[in-house]
C-alpha cells in the first residue's frame, strides 16, 4: 500500500517505535494485531455493540477488568439502519 504521508512498518514493534514521540497512536485492527498490541496499550476506545454474531471470525481480545478503568461511557444509541444498539466506552489502564 502506498499513499501520501503514509509510513509502513514491517512489524508491530517497529510501528510502535515509529510512534515513540507521538502523544497518541491508534491501532486499528484486525484481531491478531489487537491481541499483540494489548500489552502496549494505555487506552482503549471501544465500541460495544449489543448484537449476537455467532458466525463472526474476528473478535477483540478479552479485556481484564482488573487492569482497566472505564473513564468515559456514552449513552446507549441505536443505529437507525440496522436497529443495533451500541455505546462508546473509553478504558484507561490502571
Whichever domain contains 89, its CATH number is 3.40.430.10
β-strand partners of 68: 93
Q: Could you give the CA distance from residue 40 to residue 29 in angstroms, rounded to a whole number?
A: 14
pLDDT at 1 over 80: no
Q: Which three cell numbers stand for residue 31?
A: 484481531
Total number of domains in the chain:
1
Query: Does 3 map to a domain?
Result: no
Query: Does 7 map to a domain?
Result: no
Instruction: Classify residue 55 as exposed, middle or buried by CB count within 10 Å of its CB (0-12, 13-18, 19+).
Output: exposed
pLDDT at 6 over 90: no
More confident residue, 43 or 5: 43
Q: What is the pLDDT of residue 62?
A: 93
Query: Does 2 map to a domain?
Result: no
Reported as half-sphere exposure (CB side, CA atoms, 13 A), residue 10 has a value of 0
Query: Does 41 map to a domain?
Result: yes
Q: Which domain holds residue 33?
A: 12-93
Span 26-41, pLDDT tens digits: 998 889 999 999 999 9
% pLDDT > 90, the chain = 74
Q: Are 46 and 88 in contact (CB under 8 A)?
A: yes
Query: Does 4 map to a domain?
Result: no
pTM: 0.85
Amino acid at each position: 500500500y502506498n499513499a501520501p504521508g503514509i509510513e509502513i512498518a514491517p512489524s508491530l514493534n517497529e510501528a510502535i517505535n515509529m510512534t515513540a514521540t507521538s502523544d497518541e497512536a491508534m491501532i486499528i485492527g484486525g484481531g491478531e494485531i489487537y491481541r499483540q498490541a494489548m500489552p502496549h496499550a494505555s487506552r482503549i476506545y471501544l465500541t460495544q455493540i449489543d448484537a449476537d454474531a455467532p458466525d463472526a471470525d474476528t473478535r477483540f481480545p478479552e479485556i481484564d477488568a482488573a487492569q482497566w478503568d472505564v473513564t468515559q461511557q456514552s449513552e446507549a444509541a441505536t443505529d437507525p439502519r440496522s436497529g443495533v444498539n451500541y455505546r462508546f466506552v473509553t478504558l484507561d489502564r490502571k
